[in-house]
Structure 1
C-alpha cells in the first residue's frame, strides 16, 4: 500500500511539473522549464522510494511500471479535465479499460 500511495502522490507532482505550464502560455520558456524542474524534484523524492519499496516488497520492475502508468493516466485525466478544462471522451474511457486489461494480464500468474 505504501508503494501505491507514494506512486500516486509522485504522479500528482509529475503531472503538475509536466503540464501546469500549459495554462500559462505567456510564461517565457525558461520560466516554464525552471518551474517544472522545481516540482519534478519532489516527484523524484517520492518516485524513487516508491519503486524501491515496491521492488523489495515483491513487485517486479514490469509490474511497478504498469502500476505507475495506470496511476499516471488516472491522475492526468483528472488534471486535464479539472485544471486544463479538456473534455473527457468515451474513447479515452475505452482506452483505459483496455489498459486495465493489460494490468490484469501483467499480474496473472
Structure 2
C-alpha cells in the first residue's frame, strides 16, 4: 500500500510539473517553465524511486509500470477537469476504459516470469 500511495503522490507532482504551466504559464519564457517544471519534478522523483523500490518484489516491473500509468491517468483526469477546465469526452472515457482493461489483464492472470 505504501507503493501505491507514493506513486499517487509522485504522479500529482509530475502532473503539475508537466501540465500546470499550460493554464498560467503562456506568458513565461520557455526556459522558466522548464526550470519550474524540473523543480517540481524533483519531488516526483523523490517519491517515485522509493515507491518502485518498495514495490519491486511484491509487484513485477511490468506491474509497477502499469500501476503507475493507471494512477497517472486517474490523476490527469481530475487535473484536466478541475484545473484545466476541460470536458471529458466520450472517446477519452472509451480510451481510458481500454487502458483499464489492459491493467486488468496484467493483474488478473498469473504470468510465468521465469527466465
Q: Which residue of 2 aligns with 1:67?
A: 67
Give the Cα–Cα distance (whole angstroms) in 2 for the partners of residues 6 and 93 of structure 1: 25
Give the Cα–Cα distance (whole angstroms) in 1 for the partners of residues 21 and 104 of structure 2: 34
Give the Cα–Cα distance (whole angstroms) in 1 for the partners of residues 19 and 104 of structure 2: 29
Q: Which residue of 1 aligns with 2:28?
A: 27
**Number of residue pairs aligned between Structure 1 and Structure 2:** 108
Q: Note the residue ranges of structure 2 that are not aligned, 5 or more in a row.
A: 111-115
Q: Note the residue ranges of structure 1 that are not aligned, 5 or more in a row.
A: none
Q: Which residue of 2 aligns with 1:41?
A: 42
Superimposed CA distance per residue, residues 45-103 of structure 1 (whole angstroms, 9 cap, x where no aligned partner): 000000000103x1000000000000001101111111111111111111111111111
Give the Cα–Cα distance (whole angstroms) in 1 for the partners of residues 22 and 98 of structure 2: 28
What secondary structure sits across from 1:88 in the alignment?
A: coil
| Higher share in helix | 1
What secondary structure sits across from 2:84 in the alignment?
A: coil
In terms of mean alpha carbon deviation, does 58-67 or 97-106 score higher?
Answer: 97-106
Q: Which of these two proteins has the greater Rg computed from alpha carbons? A: 2
Give the Cα–Cα distance (whole angstroms) in 1 for the partners of residues 18 and 50 of structure 2: 20
Name the TM-score, length of structure 1 as normaliser. 0.95
